[in-house]
Amino acid sequence: MYGQLIVEGLSIGACYAVFGIAVVIIYKTSEVINFAQGEMAMISTFVAYHILNVYGWPFWYAFIGALFFAVLLGVFIEVCFLRPAKDPTVLGLIVITLGAEMLLMGLASWKWGAEQKDFALPFSFHKTHELFKGVVINDWSIAVFVMAAVLMIFLYIFFRYTKLGVAMRATQQNEHAARIMGIKVERVFSFAWGFSSLIGALAGMFFAARSTLDPAYMMEPFLRAFAAAVLGGLMSIPGVVIGGGILGILENFVGFHWPAWKPIVAFLVIVAVLCIRPSGLFARHYEKKV
């Protein structure tokens, strides 16, 4: 029984982790929690839904189309909403992302309506494979694991070995010095938003297949991905992945023993981490030399 709980917890945790990576990428570059992250993924998933059901194109067209749209949306929000704010405070930035969130939610309700829709991926929940005796795993979970693993490897290579990836880290550590090197910092920011939006849309489609698709369906996954990111210290990609795994398992165990408490696990985790160890479980304490 517990084996099954762990497998399922890890698979949903991997999905939180992927979405949490999107949150972390923006937090690292723009130093703001992007509260519109969930809604950006939601709109992108709606675009996939639209291509599938209105145009009737095959799934992979819709999938690629949604990712493409997600990149444009991320860049658009950075350029039009965040960049004009000169010398913004953290609070100001949060208000901007909250505004973007409401705008996107309103837009989705107006275009596609508030009722719940079905969104299916070609990875079914009903096709299961036996891992060990009595422990099964379904296609959706396998796809999530594969996606998370590929993404991790890709990001590792990107941030370590490509010029743009290293420049992104450099910009995040010292924007002034990055400008001195001739790095176009504005472009790095736009890129980070587009990239994060794309990763968010990937996770968003998996969440939609698991629950339903409506303008508010990403609110809960966002809270959980945020909790995973807080567990990992908000700054580290491996941290958020481990955080996602821990949260997924924790949630499943609580849900199994005390079902009524399951929805607030993520919230409790956020509060507990912020009170006890605000820099996350795996913080590397780094002293800044002036």
Partner 1 sequence: MLKVNNIETWYDLIRALHGISFEVKEGTIVALLGSNGAGKTTTLKTIMRLLYDLREEQPEKGTIEFMGVRIDRKDTEEIVRMGISYVPEGREVFPELTVAENILMGAYTRKDRKGVKEDMERLMARFPILAERRNQEAGYLSGGEQQMLAIARALMSRPKLLMLDEPSLGLSPLLTKQIFDIIKELNEKDGVTILLVEQNVNMALKYAHFAYLMENGRIVRADRPEVLREDEDVKEFYLGIATEQSVKGFKRYRRKVRFR
* Residue 216: partners with Cβ closer than 8 Å, 6 or more residues away: 105, 114
Which three-class secondary structure state does DSSP give residue 6?
Answer: helix
Rounded Cα gap, residues 39 and 238, in angstroms = 24
157 binds partner 1 (CB under 8 A): no
The alpha carbon of 237 is separated from its chain's Cα centroid by a whole number of angstroms, namely 11
Dihedral sign for Cα 101, 106, 112, 114, please: positive
Number of H helices, E strands in the chain: 11, 2
Quote the longest CA-to-CA distance of the chain.
60
**Of these, 80, 114, 150, 177, which contacts partner 1 (CB under 8 A)?**
177
**Of these, 111, 127, 179, 257, which contacts partner 1 (CB under 8 A)?**
179
Near partner 1 in 60-89, by CB under 8 A:
86-87
x-or-dash pattern for partner 1, window 87-126, by CB under 8 A?
A: x---------------------------------------
**Of these, 80, 85, 181, 274, which contacts partner 1 (CB under 8 A)?**
181
Rounded Cα gap, residues 179 and 159, in angstroms = 19
**Of these, 116, 174, 211, 212, which contacts partner 1 (CB under 8 A)?**
174
- 6 vs 32, beta carbon nearer partner 1: 32
Provide, rounded to whole angstroms, the least separation between the CB of residue 183 and partner 1: 5
Rounded Cα gap, residues 261 and 265, in angstroms = 7
Provide, rounded to whole angstroms, the least separation between the CB of residue 25 and partner 1: 16
127 binds partner 1 (CB under 8 A): no
Rule CB under 8 A: which residues touch partner 1?
A: 86-87, 163, 166-167, 169-170, 173-174, 176-184, 286-290
